[in-house]
Amino acid sequence: MAGRYGRPRSVLRMRTVAGQVFLLQVAIVVLLVAAAIAALVLQSRTDSEREARNRSVAVAESVANAPGIEQALQRADPTTVLQPRAEAARKGSGVDFIVIMNTQGIRYTHPLPDRIGKKFVGNLAPALAGGVVTEKITGTIGPLIQAVVPITDPHSGKVVGLVSAGITINKVSGVVDDQFPLLFGAAAGVLLLTTGGTALVSRRVRRQTHGLGPAEMTRMYEHHDAVLHAVREGVIIVSGSGRVLLANDEARRLLGLPADVEGRWVADLGLGPDVAALLSSGRTATDEVHPVGDRLIAVNQRSTDQAGGPPGSVTTLRDTTELQALSGRADSARGRLKLLYEGGTEIGTTLDVVRTCEELAEFAATRFADIVTVDLAGAVLRGEEPTPSGAGPEMRRTAVSGDDAENTALYPVGKVIRFNPDTSLGAGLANGEPVLEADLRALSGWQRQDPERARRLVEYGIHSMIAVPLRARGVILGVAMFWRAQEPEAFDEEDLSLAEELVARAAVSVDNARRYTREHAMAVTLQRSLLPRGLPEQNAVEAAYRYLPAQAGLGGVGGVGGDWFDIIPLPGARVALVVGDVVGHGLHAAATMGRLRTAVHNFANLDLPPDELLWHLDELVTRIDQDEAADGSAGVTGATCLYAIYDPASGRCTVARAGHCQPLLLRPDGTAEFAEVPGGPPLGLGGMPFENWELPLAEDSRLVLYTDGLVEDRDRDIDAGMALLVRTLGGQPDRTPEETCEAALRELLPDRPSDDIALLVARTRVLDTAHVADWDVPAEASAVAQVRAAAVRKLVEWDLADEAFTAELILSELVTNAIRYASGPIHVRLIRDRSLICEVSDHSSTSPHLKQAAITDEGGRGLFLIAQLAERWGTRYTGDGKVIWTEQPLVAEVVGEQGAPSLSPPVP
């Protein structure tokens, strides 16, 4: 068939063409080589002249500017000095001559001594004017470039002499001679590559024809022609001009073509406009289905010139009439499966009951019905377990979705609906069966639920409805109803089956969300019970706090975590500020948090310093991990804590931290800085000590304690968050603790917090010195009476005469014990706060113990007496001893008349 389109048959011709191509390529290469040689010669000549010019100018200027040249010109016999120097410079620079002359052109130097004293041949005028002149001349030594430069007096600037240097062009040329071997080698390589390329082309042509001769090609054509007319698929070949070149028997049958179809225009065959346009266009088509009479023909069309063939197209035709009927049913099933699959991915994306119902309504309203409503039992919305007998006739509308749904007569979201058991919907819901109302306009009894609303629904255009109970684990959770208004077709049994499958999958998600809601509520209740319910009464600081759980669904039982805070009143009017964080979410984190918070309270009652308290807490976490590891349970995956003690009497704050964020200190002038508390390891690692950080705090300083959820988020690292916290809270000294909390959360709270946030802000107060009294007591028995007398006078001064007797007894016993059993200086301090505080300190580490004295014992009743008289008492250890303290309640009448003790600022 190659001969039909004018293609050469002979492989020999292909070889001949290859030979011609080879000769043409050789000629082109030869021309290119010749052109390259000519260009190289011209370029070399130009470069040689430029090099000769540059060298002669450089040498002449070097000689003219050489030191001592002006003095030599002024000598009686300049040649004697200049000739040796000029010859040395000529030999060293490689030029052919260096001539030094006077302003009249008389030579003082020359390579040939007989030329000295004669006039220089050349143009001297530009050099005498102070310029530089170069010339190309042909001298006795051949073509050369000479340059003339002036010698100027450095003082007067006059030209006192001239220097000429020259070099022959041949001396700087000759570079091209070294490039001829490379050029001819490159030419030979190009010729070799050309010959190889031509041979490869000839071999490719021979491979494409498979080396077949005329007989073989003829036999192959006959076989192809027989196959073409035997296959049960139509084949049409159309030329680029739109004429039919070939049509097999099946194509003639499918398209109803005449016998003489070859050579006729496609437009004259009487085909349908779509099929005729497709065959004439020659465009690519893949399985396009076109009606031809009562048949559906699948058409595939490709261009014939894609691989260098003749212009035109080849088209195959296949009868798909019966296949289309089967594929229609398959498409319907495939669409149904796709709908259910997409419903499974888009419904139940969150563990929220209401949101799951909204996703069901939104999904079905865009893909299945015009309007969708979802109603749930009240117990399901609350997360409670529905009754096994069913959801009952009352439900609350939870979700509505659909275009213009709010303008229909359907019940709005939040409406409690009581389904009438006399209607098909009420009866079906009670039995857990779906209901199909194909034609609502027939008013077949469904309207008895609400006749007025039923009339308005029909007037709006709602004409068909499906109601499917939401059933999970054998319990009815609610009902989903699908309504059609814009879609003219009514729901049928296939739609009912699809709605049942869709609702069944959604019901599982709703039940999962309900169970999550129940467990979440239980966890939140547990956590709330473990967190402080309010701030305790104390006068050391004015405090405000915020606790915000993480968003639900962000890990574990969302919204329940292990962050906590505490304000613990301590003896001596002091207060402990605590913030901690247990890594993770859920019941385990909340329970661990409760255990640690309880432990901190217990350790705080021992009045331990912050570093010792954290050491004991670290030991506790280590034991918890060991115990739970033995049971196969999850241990404490990570916990941090910051513990601070503030003393309003001295204004000093002591802080230690275990892996926690640095506290922020806001000074009274508005300055904000992070307290450089030494960082200890997180709790449970063990083996590392904790260090105290102590600093005096001015009155009205604010100490900001927080967990990392405030400053760290997915889109913000902790360093950026801490810098933002400083910018937010700094420079605002007039903010109250409440306002400080609000400002921090307003600027740093993420849209969807992924971690709990605990924030505690404490503004310091300092006790009025008028309400603190202290005395140093000598270790003498007579000093007891003096201390008692001084204490009584101070209490009378404080209008606390009613408490004086009790305080006198307590102080007498404590001071007597200190003198008898302790060592070192003894110090007594009285503090009037919400209670009357008596403190006796000494340098002994011996701890007193309360015991029941026998009748015959002479001592041992002092602490028992103190325990009966004081509301609270205890011992705390210091770096150089111990302090025994007691607290006495103030008489109610005195407190009511005089108010709380004066603090700066007053207690609100």
Q: Is the pLDDT of residue 194 over 90?
A: no
Residues 6 or more apart whose Cβ sits within 8 Å of residue 30: 187
Q: Is the pLDDT of residue 733 over 70?
A: yes
pLDDT for 17 equals: 45
CB neighbour class for 679 (10 Å; exposed up to 12, middle 13-18, buried from 19): middle
Average pLDDT (203-211) is 57
Using 50, 70 and 90 to split pLDDT, how confident is the model at 1?
A: very low
Q: Is the pLDDT of residue 139 over 80?
A: no
pLDDT for 90 equals: 82
Say if residues 150 and 162 touch (Cβ distance below 8 Å).
Answer: yes
Amino acid at 111: P
Q: Is the pLDDT of residue 851 over 90?
A: no
Average pLDDT (300-322) is 79
How does strand 652-658 pair with strand 679-680?
A: parallel
Average pLDDT (575-603) is 86
Which among 461, 467, 423 has a CA at the least distance from the CA of 444? 423
3-state DSSP: the chain helix, strand, coil percent, rounded to 5? 45, 25, 30
Q: How many helices (H) and strands (E) does the chain have?
A: 23, 33
Lowest-pLDDT choice from 82-86, 392-396, 410-414, 892-896 = 892-896
pLDDT for 23 equals: 62
pLDDT for 706 equals: 94
User: Higher-confidence residue: 342 or 905?
Assistant: 342
Tell me if residue 374 falls in helix, strand or coil: strand
In our burial notation (b when 16+ CB lie closer than 10 A, e otherwise), range 141-176 reads eeebbbbbbbbbeeeeeebebbbbbbbbbebbbeeb
CA distance 351 to 512: 7
Check residue 5 and report its DSSP letter.
G
Q: Which tokens hold the place of 414? A: 């939040």
Name 878's bridge partners.
881
The predicted-structure confidence for 371-384, as pLDDT tens digits, reads as follows 999 999 888 888 88
CA distance 310 to 7: 10
Residue 29 backbone class (left: φ over 0; alpha: ψ -120 to 50; beta: rest): alpha
CA distance 247 to 236: 4
Using 50, 70 and 90 to split pLDDT, how confident is the model at 543?
A: very high
Average pLDDT (162-183) is 70
Say if residues 600 and 566 touch (Cβ distance below 8 Å).
Answer: yes
Using 50, 70 and 90 to split pLDDT, how confident is the model at 593?
A: confident
Which among 716, 737, 762, 749 has a CA at the least distance from the CA of 548? 749
pLDDT for 794 equals: 87
Residue 302 vs residues 240, 285, 309, 556, 595: alpha-carbon distances, Å: 12, 7, 12, 58, 77
Q: Which tokens hold the place of 787? A: 């201390």
Using 50, 70 and 90 to split pLDDT, how confident is the model at 633?
A: low
> Which of 134-143, 161-170, 614-623 is modeled with the greatest confidence?
614-623
pLDDT for 394 equals: 79
Could you check whether the bond before residue 737 is cis, i.e. omega within 30 degrees of 0?
no
Phi, psi dihedrals of residue 695, rounded to the nearest 5°: -155, 135
CA distance 895 to 205: 116
CA distance 161 to 70: 8
Say if residues 809 and 867 touch (Cβ distance below 8 Å).
Answer: no
Say if residues 537 and 372 touch (Cβ distance below 8 Å).
Answer: no
The predicted-structure confidence for 502-537, as pLDDT tens digits, reads as follows 999 999 999 998 888 787 777 777 767 777 777 888
Average pLDDT (760-781) is 88
Say if residues 379 and 387 touch (Cβ distance below 8 Å).
Answer: yes
Task: Count CB-CB contacts under 10 A for residue 310.
Answer: 14
pLDDT for 210 equals: 57
pLDDT for 215 equals: 64
Phi, psi dihedrals of residue 435, rounded to the nearest 5°: -130, 130
CA distance 762 to 265: 96
CA distance 410 to 401: 11
Q: Is the pLDDT of residue 390 over 70?
A: no
Average pLDDT (776-798) is 86
Amino acid at 470: L
Residue 410 vs residues 197, 407, 698: alpha-carbon distances, Å: 82, 8, 65
Extended strands (E) in 323-441: 371-376, 394-402, 416-418, 435-437
Average pLDDT (617-634) is 77
Lowest-pLDDT choice from 177-186, 256-265, 693-702 = 177-186
Residues 6 or more apart whose Cβ sits within 8 Å of residue 23: none
Residues 6 or more apart whose Cβ sits within 8 Å of residue 405: 365, 371
The predicted-structure confidence for 15-69, as pLDDT tens digits, reads as follows 444 455 556 666 676 677 677 667 766 776 777 778 878 888 888 888 888 888 8
User: Mean of the per-residue pLDDT values for the chain?
Assistant: 80
Which among 850, 827, 708, 849 has a CA at the least distance from the CA of 779? 827
CA distance 71 to 211: 94
Using 50, 70 and 90 to split pLDDT, how confident is the model at 483?
A: very high
Query: To which H or E segment does residue 290 belong?
Result: strand 285-292
pLDDT for 607 equals: 87
Residue 361 vs residues 234, 247, 314, 368, 374: alpha-carbon distances, Å: 50, 56, 51, 10, 7
Name 621's bridge partners.
none
Q: Which tokens hold the place of 641? A: 């804590």
Query: To which H or E segment does residue 865 belong?
Result: helix 862-869
Q: Which tokens hold the place of 262? A: 């070859």
Query: To which H or E segment does residue 291 belong?
Result: strand 285-292
Tell me if residue 449 falls in helix, strand or coil: helix
Query: To which H or E segment does residue 274 belong?
Result: helix 273-281
CA distance 883 to 876: 5
Which among 24, 68, 291, 44 has a CA at the least distance from the CA of 179? 44
